């Protein structure tokens, strides 16, 4: 059979890959073969229309799914869908650019010096209000309070990893001081099975579990190889990830994870080996609030960001927004957490420069201008066709459906916050700080979030975006491994399922309107 040549170019870069193929091979799989991990939000079923690619030469005839998802003008321009297109001759394609840059570090600089410094604060010393022998000892003191020298930690490297549903980020850090030596970042290769955790769980349940596991292990191995190709080998790896990602990585059954009462195979720390490295997978709290959130709390706690200020009556709120929004209300030694499905509401539109977090600012603007009312309805002039929002490179059409999705998601998140407060018996005035985790939180317009009622008005001034806390938490966990100290988070955590909370339905209805509350 004759072979053809495919040239793959990537928008805004000079990167070019070439490979040969036979007629009938899917473009999505060909890109994968070329080592390019791409998104297939609907799992490659040709339904979502999001896996767009542009043929620079020799576009194939459009498939029915492409005629449904793309406009005649787009088809004429050579736009096709990666998952359904099967090129039939030599061709050249352009893959569209990345979304907003992923947040790797964020607000905090994690290094051992900071942790050691923290232990030197008066409050953290024996007799201080926030003295905790475990933290104090871990942060460089022996049991008699004598300062340890972090320089005694052996030379070498370890790798901290955040397996996000969308992105995989790996950092090689120096063991002696915790500084970052190299970073590896890729789209999560499992995206080819679907953009969200539910689609991937479906894929796992339909017999693709081993494939999903191998694809992620292969990607981690590739990351280890690239991070260590300078000859400086790492000794171990720490992974933070949500509970589903861990199940998919380990090829645990997700059968009980996706149905009530949502029982994971395990929530404990897992010790395994990946890419020839001893690998620690961080523990989680529930099927919906996993080790990535635990890592965030771990980072805040051991960096002292929260504990210095906590007394028995002072609380913090940790929010990680995405298709699944995780919420944790935590105090000095106890916490309560839940998760709520936000669906596609916070999705932007790849290729237009419009991002999920922008939707909140846009909706707040439409509300302030009276283009949308508090019930979430666009006024008559825009109801049918939607409203055009100016962007850097043109305009984006916002539909009534998108507004409705965002309205439902914001009601779910806000109700989650209210239920946690109610269950813990905590007033909003008792919340000292709100930490917004993750890339979405990093770019979130806090004022807009308050304007539409996603966040309570009282918390606007207390809210800080703190970046990729999962990755930083994995680094702190690495520190605990190096110092051989207890790795338990000293918080009693209660995980609740909002769906079974009586007050949730009423609360959801209370917060459905788009308004400051």
Assess 47 for contact with ligand FES (CB under 6 A). yes
Position 81 contacts ligand FES (CB under 6 A): yes
Indicate the pairing of strand 79-81 with strand 157-163.
unpaired
Per DSSP, the chain holds a count of helices (H) and strands (E) of 16, 19
Query: Is residue 350 at the binding interface for ligand FES, with CB under 6 A as the rule?
Result: no
Instruction: Supply the DSSP string of 119-169, one letter for each residue.
Output: HHSGGGSTTSTT--HHHHHHTTB-TTSPBPPGGGSPS-EEEEEEE-SSEEE
The nearer residue to ligand FES, 83 or 139, going by C-beta atoms, is 83
Give 288-351 as a 3 state SS string.
Answer: CCCHHHHHHHHHHHHCCCCHHHCCCCCEEEEEECCCEEEEEEECCCEEEEEEEECHHHHCCECC
- Cβ closest to ligand FES, residue 176 vs residue 350: 350
Strands 16-22 and 3-10, sheet pairing: antiparallel
According to CB under 6 A, which one of 21, 30, 50, 140 is a site residue for ligand FES? Answer: 50
Name which of 82 and 398 has its Cβ closer to ligand FES.
Answer: 82
Can residue 209 be called a binding residue for ligand FES (CB under 6 A)? no
Nearest to 216 by CA among 168, 170, 171: 168
Q: Which of 8, 46, 275, 293 binds ligand FES (CB under 6 A)?
A: 46
49 binds ligand FES (CB under 6 A): yes
Tokens describing residue 211: 């494939």
8-state DSSP, 441: H
Distance CA 193, CA 204 (A): 9
Footprint of ligand FES on residues 360-419 (CB under 6 A)?
Answer: none
CA distance 446 to 311: 26
Q: Which is nearer to ligand FES, 42 or 250 (CB)?
A: 42
Distance CA 403, CA 381 (A): 15
> Could you say whether residue 183 binds ligand FES (CB under 6 A)?
no
Smallest gap, in angstroms, from Cβ of residue 466 to ligand FES? 32
Q: Which of 8, 31, 48, 170 binds ligand FES (CB under 6 A)?
A: 48
62 binds ligand FES (CB under 6 A): no
Q: Does 329 bind ligand FES (CB under 6 A)?
A: no
Residue with Cβ nearer ligand FES (40 or 317): 40
Asked if 95 is part of the footprint of ligand FES (rule: CB under 6 A), the reply reads no
Site mask, ligand FES, residues 12-41, x = CB under 6 A? ----------------------------xx
Does a cis peptide bond (omega within 30 degrees of 0) precede residue 261?
yes
Tokens of 238: 């720490």
Interface region with ligand FES, contact rule CB under 6 A, candidates 79-87, 131-139, 180-188, 439-447 = 79-87
375 by Cβ neighbours in 10 Å (0-12 / 13-18 / 19+) ranks as: exposed
Closer by beta carbon to ligand FES, 48 or else 274: 48
Among 8, 21, 37, 44, binds ligand FES (CB under 6 A): 44
Rule CB under 6 A: which of 438-467 touch ligand FES?
none
Residues near ligand FES, by CB under 6 A: 40-42, 44, 46-51, 81-83
């Amino acid at each position: 059979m004759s072979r053809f040549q495919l040239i793959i170019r990537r928008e805004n870069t000079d990167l070019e890959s070439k490979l040969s193929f036979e007629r009938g091979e899917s473009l999505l799989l060909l890109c994968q073969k070329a080592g390019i991990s791409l998104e297939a939000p609907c799992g490659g079923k040709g339904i979502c229309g999001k896996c767009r690619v542009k043929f620079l030469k020799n576009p194939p005839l459009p498939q029915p799914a492409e005629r449904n998802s793309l406009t005649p003008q787009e088809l004429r321009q050579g736009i096709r869908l990666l998952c359904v297109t099967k090129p039939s001759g030599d061709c050249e394609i352009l893959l569209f650019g990345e979304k907003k840059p992923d947040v790797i570090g964020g607000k905090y600089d994690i290094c051992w010096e900071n942790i050691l410094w923290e232990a030197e604060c008066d409050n953290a010393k024996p007799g201080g209000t926030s003295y905790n022998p475990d933290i104090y000892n871990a942060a460089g003191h022996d049991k008699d309070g004598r300062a340890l020298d972090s320089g005694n930690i052996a030379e070498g490297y370890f790798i901290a990893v955040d397996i996000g549903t969308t992105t995989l980020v790996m950092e090689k850090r120096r063991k002696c001081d915790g500084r970052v030596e190299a970073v590896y970042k890729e789209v999560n290769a499992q995206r080819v099975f679907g953009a969200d955790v539910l689609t991937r769980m479906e894929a796992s349940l339909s017999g693709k579990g081993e494939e999903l596991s191998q694809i992620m292990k292969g990607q981690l191995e590739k990351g280890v190889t690239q991070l260590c190709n300078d000859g400086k080998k790492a000794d171990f790896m720490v992974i933070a990830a949500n509970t589903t990602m861990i199940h998919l990585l380990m090829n645990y059954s997700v059968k009980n994870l996706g149905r009530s009462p949502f029982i994971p195979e395990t929530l404990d720390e897992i010790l395994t080996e990946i890419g020839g490295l001893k690998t620690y997978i961080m523990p989680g709290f529930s099927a919906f609030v996993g080790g990535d959130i635990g890592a965030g709390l771990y980072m805040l706690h051991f960096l002292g960001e929260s504990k210095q200020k906590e007394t028995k009556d002072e609380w913090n709120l940790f929010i990680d927004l995405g298709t699944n929004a995780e919420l944790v209300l935590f105090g000095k030694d106890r916490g309560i957490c839940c998760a709520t499905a936000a669906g596609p509401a916070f999705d932007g539109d790849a290729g237009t420069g419009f991002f999920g977090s922008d939707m909140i600012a846009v909706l707040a603007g439409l509300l302030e201008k009276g283009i949308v009312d508090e019930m979430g309805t666009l006024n008559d002039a825009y109801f049918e066709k939607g409203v055009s929002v100016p962007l850097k490179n043109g305009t984006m059409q916002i539909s009534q459906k998108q507004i409705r999705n965002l309205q439902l998601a914001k009601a779910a998140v806000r109700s989650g916050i209210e239920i946690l407060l109610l269950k813990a018996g905590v007033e909003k005035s008792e919340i000292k700080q709100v930490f917004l985790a993750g890339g979405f939180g990093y770019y979130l317009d806090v004022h807009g979030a308050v304007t539409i009622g996603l966040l309570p008005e009282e918390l606007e001034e207390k809210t800080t975006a703190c970046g990729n806390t999962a990755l930083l938490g994995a680094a702190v966990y690495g520190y605990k491994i190096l110092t051989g100290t207890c790795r338990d988070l000293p918080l009693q955590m209660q995980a609740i399922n909002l769906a079974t909370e009586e007050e949730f339905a009423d609360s959801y209805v209370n917060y459905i309107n788009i308004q400051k509350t």
